[in-house]
Amino acid sequence: MPSIIEPSDDVDLRRYPYATTLNNEFALFTLANRLPGTIDRLLLDSSIGRTSWSRLSKIRESLISQGRVPPLEQNPFFDEAVWKHISGSVKSWRSAPFINFEYYLYYKVLEATGSYFHLEPTEPTKEQWILASGDQSSDPFKTDKDYPAIGGNDKYWSAIEAAAKLRWKKPKKTQLKEAVFSSLYNNQRDASQLRQFNINFVHSGESRSDDLIKVDHSAHLVDALLSPETSRIDIVSDNFYHEFVSDLSLAETIIRTAGKKVNIWVKNVPSFVSDVTITDWERLKKDLLASPALSECFKSVLDPSFFSVRSARHLDTHLSFSDALYPPQGIAPSAPLQELFQHSHLIIIKGDLNYRKLVEDRLWEPTLAVRKTIDARIFCVRAVKSACVVGVDESEWPVTLDMLNASLPSLKNPRPDYNMIIQEFR
Amino acid sequence: MTNVALDRRIEQCRTSGGRVLRLSELPDLRSLPIEKLSKPLRATVSRLSARKCGLESLDGLELFTGLVELKVSDNRALKILPEVIASHQKLEILDISSTDTGDFSFLRFVDLDYLSVRGLSLAALAADIRHSKTIRFLDVSGGRDWTPDCGEAIGTLTSLEFIDLSDVEGIVDFSFLASLPLLRVVRLDGTQVRDLRFAKNLPLLQGLTARKTLNLRSLSGIEGHKALQLLDLTGSAVRDLYPVRKLEGLAGGESKSPGLLGLRLSEPFPEPRLAAMIKRHGDATHDETTKTKAIQVYLEGGPYRIRRTWDDLVLSWKFALQTDAAVTRDASLKLVATFTPFLIASVMALFPMDFLWKVFLYVVAFACLFAAWLLNYRVEKQK
pLDDT above 50 (res A79): yes
Residue A190: CB atoms within 10 Å: 26
Classify strands B20-22 and A377-383 as parallel, antiparallel or unpaired.
unpaired
Beta bridge partners of A68: A92
For residue B49, being part of any structural domain is answered with yes
User: Is position B159 within any domain?
Assistant: yes
Q: What is the mean pLDDT of residues A272-297?
A: 92
Confidence label for B294 from pLDDT (cuts 50, 70 and 90): very low
Higher pLDDT, B311 or B122: B122
Domain co-membership, B135 together with B45: yes
Task: Give contacts of B209 with chain A, Cβ < 8 Å.
Answer: 46
Query: Using CA atoms, how far apart are residues A22 and B370, in angstroms rounded to an integer?
Result: 50
Residues B192 and B328 in one domain: no
Q: Which of B165, B185, B282, B168 has the alpha carbon at shortest distance from B225?
A: B185
* B317, part of any domain: no
Residue B318 located in a structural domain: no
Residue B303: per-residue pLDDT: 46
Give the Cα separation of A164 and A148 in Å (integer): 18
Q: Which residues of B touch A (CB under 8 A)?
A: 12, 15-17, 19-20, 22, 46-47, 92-93, 113-114, 136-137, 139, 161-162, 164, 184-185, 206-207, 209, 229-230, 251-256, 273, 276
Is a pLDDT exceeding 50 seen at residue B238? yes
Q: Where are the alpha helices (DSSP H) in chain B?
A: 2-15, 39-44, 82-86, 125-129, 148-154, 272-280, 310-323, 325-350, 355-382
- Segment B272-296 shows an average pLDDT of 41
Question: Is B247 inside any structural domain?
Answer: yes
Residue in A54, A74, A198 closest to B19 by CB: A74
**What span, in angstroms and rounded, lies between the C-alpha atoms of B151 and B138?**
12
Interface of A with B (CB under 8 A): 40-41, 43-44, 46, 49-50, 53-55, 57-58, 73-76, 114, 116-117, 143, 194-195, 198
Please state, for a pLDDT cut of 70, what percent of chain B lies above it: 75
B356 and B209 inside one domain: no
Q: Any idea which of A69-73, A233-237, A375-379, B230-234 has the lowest mean pLDDT?
A: B230-234
Chain A nearest-CA residue for B138: A50
User: Are B93 and A73 inside 8 Å of each other by CB?
Assistant: no
Amino acid letter for position B46: S
Q: Is B241 a domain residue?
A: yes
Q: Which residues contact B120 (CB under 8 A, 6 or more apart)?
A: B96, B97, B98, B99, B101, B102, B140, B143, B144
pLDDT (average), residues B86-94:
95
Dihedrals φ, ψ of B213, to 5°?
-115, 90
Average pLDDT along chain B: 80
pLDDT at residue A1 tops 80: no
pLDDT at B313 over 70: no
Contact A55 B93 (CB under 8 A): yes
How many domains does chain B divide into? Answer: 2
* pLDDT tens per residue across span A176-233: 999 999 999 888 756 454 433 344 566 654 445 568 899 999 999 999 999 999 999 9
Q: What per-residue confidence (pLDDT) applies to A214?
A: 94
Q: How far apart, in whole angstroms, are the C-alpha atoms of residue B114 and residue A397?
A: 53
Distance CA A249, CA A299 (A): 10
Q: For A11-29, b where at least 16 C-beta lie within 10 A, e where not — what string?
A: eeeeebebbbbeebbbbbb
Check if the beta carbon of residue B206 is closer than 8 Å to that of residue B227.
Answer: yes
Please indicate, yes or no, if residue B316 is contained in any of the structural domains.
no
Q: Is the pLDDT of residue B259 over 60?
A: no
State which CATH number among 3.40.50.10880, 3.40.190.10, 3.40.630.30, 3.30.1360.80 fits the domain covering A154-425. Answer: 3.40.50.10880
Instruction: Specify the pLDDT at position A203.
Output: 60
- pLDDT confidence of residue B311: 58
Q: B185 in a domain, yes or no?
A: yes
Instruction: Write the pLDDT tens digit of every residue in B297-312.
Output: 434 334 454 445 555 5
Contact B128, B102 (CB under 8 A): no
Give the containing element (helix H, strand E) for A422: strand A420-425
Q: What is the CATH number of the domain that holds B36?
A: 3.80.10.10
One domain, residues B240 and B269: yes
Is B246 in the same domain as B101? yes
Asked if residues A358 and A4 have their Cβ atoms less than 8 Å apart, the reply is yes
**In chain B, what residues touch A73 (CB-CB under 8 Å)?**
17, 19-20, 46-47
**Gap from A179 CA to chain B (nearest CA, Å):** 28
Confidence of residue A342 (pLDDT cuts 50, 70, 90): confident
Q: pTM of the prediction?
A: 0.83
How many other β-carbons are positioned within 10 Å of the β-carbon of residue A87? 17
Q: Same structural domain for residues B342 and B298?
A: no
- The candidate with the shortest Cα–Cα distance to A396, out of A238, A219, A247, is A219
Judge whether A224 and A346 are in contact, CB under 8 Å.
yes
Residues B353 and B305 in one domain: no
Residue whose C-alpha is closest to residue B72's, from B5, B7, B117, B125: B117
Span A41-45, mean pLDDT? 86
* Alpha carbon B327 to its chain's center: 24
Residue among A281, A113, A137, A272 at smallest CA distance from A193: A272
What are the pLDDT digits (tens) for A121-136?
876 666 788 887 556 6
Of B154 and B268, the structure prediction assigns the larger pLDDT to B154
Q: What digits encode the pLDDT tens for the residues B358-382?
A: 888 889 888 888 888 887 777 666 5
Q: Are B371 and B329 in contact (CB under 8 A)?
A: no
Q: Are residues B214 and B133 in the same domain?
A: yes
Same-domain pairing of B225 and B344:
no
Residue of chain A whose Cα is closest to the Cα of B10: A117
Say how far apart CA B337 and CA B379 lie, in whole Å.
14
Residue A68: is its pLDDT beyond 90? Answer: no
Same domain assignment for residues B167 and B214: yes
Chain A residue at shortest CA distance from B185: A44
Q: What is the C-alpha separation between A413 and A181, in angstroms, rounded?
A: 26
Mean pLDDT of A142-170: 83
B283/A265: higher pLDDT = A265
Could you tell me which residues are beta bridge partners of residue B185?
B162, B207
Residue A425, H or E segment: strand A420-425
pLDDT of B254 > 70? The answer is: no
| SS3 annotation, B70-126 | EECCCCCCCCCCHHHHHCCCCCCEEECCCCCCCCCHHHHCCCCCEEECCCCECCCHH
- Mean pLDDT, chain A, whole residue set: 87
The ipTM estimated for the assembled molecules is: 0.86
**Residue A177 and residue A389: Cα distance in Å, rounded?**
23
Q: Higher-confidence residue: B274 or B63?
A: B63
Do B270 and B219 sit in the same domain of this protein? yes
Task: List Cβ neighbours of A101 (8 Å cut-off, separation of 6 or more).
Answer: A21, A31, A69, A90, A93
Helix, strand, or coil (residue A131): strand
> Which residue from A42, A21, A170 is spatially nearest to A102, judged by alpha carbons?
A21
Q: Is the pLDDT of residue B153 over 90?
A: yes
Structural domain boundaries, residue B161: 2-311
| pLDDT tens string B326-347 | 666 777 777 788 888 888 888 8
Average pLDDT of the residues in B167-173 = 94
Rounded distance between C-alpha atoms, residue A60 and residue A46, angstroms = 18
* pLDDT above 70 (res A273): yes
Last residue of a domain, one of B278, B311, B344: B311
Q: Which letter does DSSP use for residue B169 in this model?
A: T
The shortest CB-CB distance from A54 to any of B20, B114, B253 is to: B114
User: Cβ(A158)–Cβ(A148) under 8 Å?
Assistant: no
Query: Rounded to an integer, what distance in angstroms lies between the CA atom of residue B377 and that of residue B330?
Result: 10
| Structural element, H or E, at residue A233 | strand A232-236
Residue range B173-204, pLDDT digits in tens:
999 999 999 999 999 999 999 989 899 999 99
Residue B69's region, left for phi above 0, alpha for psi from -120 to 50, else beta, is beta
For the stretch A103-109, contacts whose Cβ atoms lie closer than 8 Å and that sit 24 or more positions apart, written own/partner, are A103/A271, A103/A317, A103/A318, A104/A69, A104/A72, A104/A318, A105/A35, A105/A59, A105/A63, A106/A271, A106/A272, A107/A72, A107/A271, A108/A59, A108/A70, A108/A72, A109/A38, A109/A39, A109/A42, A109/A56, A109/A59, A109/A140, A109/A271
B170, B264: one domain: yes
- B94 and B120 Cβ atoms separated by less than 8 Å: no
- Best mutation target among A45, A54, A56, A192 (most B Cβ atoms within 10 Å) is A54
Using a CB-CB distance cutoff of 8 angstroms, which residues of chain A are in contact with residue B253? 44
Q: Reduced to 3 states, what is the DSSP secondary structure of residue B326?
A: helix
Closest C-alpha among B327, B333, B126, B352 to residue B224: B327
